[in-house]
Structure 1
Amino acid sequence: MRGARAALVTFALGSVGCAGATPMTPAPPSPEAAEIQARSGAPAWLPAYSAAQRALLAPVDTPIQTPAAPVYPDLGRFEYAGPARVDDLRRTLRFSSLIVTVIDKSPRLYSLDDAPPELANLIAQYGPPPSAEPDPWQAAEMSRKDRSLTLTEVKLSEEAKASLATARAKRDVGDTKAASDAFRAALVATPAAAIALELGDMLAAKGQAKEARDAFEEAVIIDPTLATAHLGIAELAAKRGDRDEARRWLAEAIAYWPASRRALALADRLTNGLASSRLTRLPLFRVFVDVDSAGAIHVGSSGGEPARIYAGCRAVMRYEPKVRARIFEQPEDVPYHLTMMEELICMESAIGVYVAARMSGKGAADPTMDALVDIARDEGLGGYVMTEILGRHRPERARVAPREVHRAMVRYVERTMLGAPLVADPDQGVYTAAR
């Protein structure tokens, strides 16, 4: 019998180890040895683990039938999924039961522990952290053949480079008219969204709102996925008090780059801080998943059945290639990579356990989970997953999301971050979400 008990709502991820034994708690290895263990086979972008994270990887003393190897995502691959609504509790419970069964029956050994949220190894799970804002000099393209993403540098003609250099020099000395002419000459030579964006930023700073908007709109036409172009229009609309237009353009901006700090700052100004304080804006589950030097899979979660089911699901998707191949209908040898479907299944599994416990009267109410259940039932989890999870860690994928996925993200942002409707508060000069 493995360490995860087979009863669904008693998915015990405490101190119980696989094969019925409790994980060993030996004297911790030296930091150098532990680091070698934790980083075995790790990619170059993975930072060193903290001492507390290394402690989570202390080898177990239980014999391991099939050692697991460290697995990190292939960042060149990614898959989307449709934003289907969660309307069948039996289906979600089947996902939950699958996770428990796999952990219970797997020849691999799972060491299941409690771990505070701050020990989550998010970079190991999702890849290196993104930049706060998209690079306007990179264009995003999705390969039709293998769905891989490429970010290519915008190439300027020699004429465009010369005009752009002149524009920047004139801008820096305050000659807005000459700078505008030079920016426009550069755009004629090489239509690039980044050039139009620079022009718009300069004109906005000089108070030329109409001309700035024209420049931002030109940037959107050249590259509709450039979040900062949408954001520029949203900021102009907010400044003149047109909250409805600001909200529309801001939702598009966030949907194209959910990690944007500048966009979130505007959202907070429009909602009097509500955008970043809403319950579902918090990372719902922060888990630790990795393999120790002996080949045991360590799964840490912050407690509670939904979090434990989610953590176990993420581990199964990562370390059980047969299960993953069956669910995703792909060969077992396809490298592990991030997918929207993985997150949807794991979130739905957690929701199923929560709803079942509430219906049985055995589970306590959780406002965050309740809000997530509402979103899952009303519009599906696609917008949540792509915005709050994958969008935070891999926002470049949002730039090339299929149209239906993008629209789901926009709806999620409008509903959850910006609130509906927005009403003016003339006393404070800000907008607040009507309750």
Structure 2
Amino acid sequence: MRGVARAALVTFALGGMGCAGAAPMTPAPDAPAAETQVNGDRPAWLPAYSAAQRALLAPVETPIQVPAARVYPDLHRFQYAGPARLDDLRRTIRFSTLIVTVIDKSPRLYALDNAAPELANLVAQYGPPPAAEPDPWQTAEVVRKERALTLTAVKLSDEAKASLATARSKRDAGDTKAAAEAFRAALGFTRAAGIALELGEMLVAQNQPKEAREAFEEALRIDPTLATAHLRLAELAEKRTDRDEARRRVAEAIAFWPASRRALDLADRLSNGLVSSRHTRLPLFRVFLDVDDVGAIHVGSSGGDPARIYAGCRAVMRYEPEVRARIFEQPEDVPYHLTMMEELICMESAIGAYVAARMSKEGAAVDPAMEALLEVAHEEGLGGYVMTEILGRYRPERARGAPREVHEAMVRYVERTMLGTPLVADPAQGVYTAAR
């Protein structure tokens, strides 16, 4: 497992990654120094490992040439990437070969093990679990000329706070008319999507769908990234059996907050159960990555070669700062952080492992999930998949702040893969079915 000099590793990595073809990345604002993980410091949000997870970190007996440091992501840094369609299978296979070679020749020691999916240390990899729904009192604002967004707290004027307090009091007392007037007065003082959202929620509860719809649309005029307002409009459309609008609205809701259980449940109803079965059609690799007390890198995965290559790729990106620095064109001392590019490269590496096995073994078994992922990668690109199913699932605030082209890719992914092709009426049955 131990390998050659650092310079040779970097040279090889550059040769392989030069074929990536992905668009330039858009950085999010730098993190406050207090949030940066330096030299493997254990973050406060990392929970204790289970006994089974600790067993995966049993120290190896092989001598360590270069100990690896524990690394956790700096959650205030993030990088987006452009669309990346898989249009050259030879390049994809080279990604897989590259990962194997880097691991083999690295001076750091990798311990590759089998690990059940439930042992995946997702919090260590992506940060603490997200909120189920977005915070309506945070708004997305452009803070850099690259068009990336960040979430900032809504600042209410004193007058808006007073009107909002009156609105809530009147609402709780059952005086809907007075409450609505107070909510609108608060909006007059401070245009905040959260105020319009509360007004809409009250009107839904009072069975005033037309007025509620106007309130939710006002919330989106104030902040188009507020997934909850998109979702409420989708639910209203479902109630009036306007499935086309419901699907369009719920796709926006999921694209702005992929962790929303309520949005996913609605999408499942609109797709005749496709959403709840999507993970059987598209693989989500759940892996374990960490460093033991003597500096060996433990990589656990299950599910065959594609999962192993994906896990190995994620480990290389995390624990080989020289390689990462050259791929992302940044100094080696920049703290490790999450990026679209990392996930795109690692997913393509997994596809390459699958394709290579199919090409080298006549009659090799076909994996429907990998075939579905291959189709999405070729026809649409993996950007929407990565930002919806992986990064958006664990860090949905990054989905809310994504550049327009990334958001549009996510919407297309939801519409195509999670919801299926547009619903068509079956006159014979009088019901809607999902055409695939």
Matches for 1:375-414 after TM superposition, within 5 Å: 375-414=376-415
Question: What is the match of residue 227 of structure 2?
Answer: 227
CA contact (8 A) 1:306 1:353 kept: yes
Deviation at 1:339, TM superposition (A): 0.3
- How far apart are the structure 2 equivalents of 1:145 and 1:332? 25
CA contact (8 A) 1:140 1:149 kept: yes
Matches for 1:289-300 after TM superposition, within 5 Å: 289-300=289-300
TM-score of the pair, normalised by structure 1: 0.88
Question: What is the match of residue 197 of structure 2?
Answer: 197
How many residues matched?
400
Deviation at 1:283, TM superposition (A): 5.4
Moved more, 236-245 or 173-182: 173-182
Moved more, 396-405 or 423-432: 423-432
- How far apart are the structure 2 equivalents of 1:58 and 1:375? 38
Question: What is the match of residue 371 of structure 1?
Answer: 372
Deviation at 1:247, TM superposition (A): 0.7
Deviation at 1:273, TM superposition (A): 2.1
Deviations 1:229-284 (A, max 9, x none): 11111111111000001111111111000000110111112123221212467652
Question: What is the match of residue 15 of structure 2?
Answer: none
SS state at 1:79 partner: strand
Moved more, 182-191 or 198-207: 198-207
CA contact (8 A) 1:383 1:409 kept: yes
Consecutive unaligned residues in structure 2, runs of 5 or more: 4-38
CA contact (8 A) 1:301 1:308 kept: yes
Assess, with a 3 A threshold, how the Cα gap between structure 1 residues 72 and 268 changes in structure 2: closer, same or farther: same
- How far apart are the structure 2 equivalents of 1:149 and 1:49? 34
Letter in 1 for 2:419: L
Assess, with a 3 A threshold, how the Cα gap between structure 1 residues 426 and 167 changes in structure 2: closer, same or farther: farther
- Identity level (%): 82
- How far apart are the structure 1 equivalents of 2:240 and 2:86? 40
Give structure 1 regions of 4+ aligned residues with deviation exceeding 4 angstroms. 145-150, 280-283, 424-431
Letter in 1 for 2:290: D
Deviation at 1:168, TM superposition (A): 1.0
Deviations 1:294-341 (A, max 9, x none): 000000000411000000000000000111111111111111100000
- How far apart are the structure 1 equivalents of 2:431 and 2:171? 32
Letter in 2 for 1:269: R
Matches for 1:291-310 after TM superposition, within 5 Å: 291-310=291-310
Deviation at 1:423, TM superposition (A): 3.5
Assess, with a 3 A threshold, how the Cα gap between structure 1 residues 60 and 385 changes in structure 2: closer, same or farther: same
Deviation at 1:424, TM superposition (A): 5.2
Question: What is the match of residue 117 of structure 1?
Answer: 117
SS state at 1:95 partner: helix
Moved more, 145-154 or 273-282: 145-154
Deviations 1:106-165 (A, max 9, x none): 110101100010000000000011000000011133542799864322111111111111
Question: What is the match of residue 12 of structure 2?
Answer: none
Question: What is the match of residue 157 of structure 1?
Answer: 157
Assess, with a 3 A threshold, how the Cα gap between structure 1 residues 75 and 348 changes in structure 2: closer, same or farther: same
Matches for 1:21-170 after TM superposition, within 5 Å: 41-141=41-141, 143-144=143-144, 150-170=150-170
Letter in 2 for 1:111: A
Letter in 2 for 1:416: T
Consecutive unaligned residues in structure 1, runs of 5 or more: 4-38
- How far apart are the structure 2 equivalents of 1:278 and 1:360? 29
Letter in 2 for 1:163: S
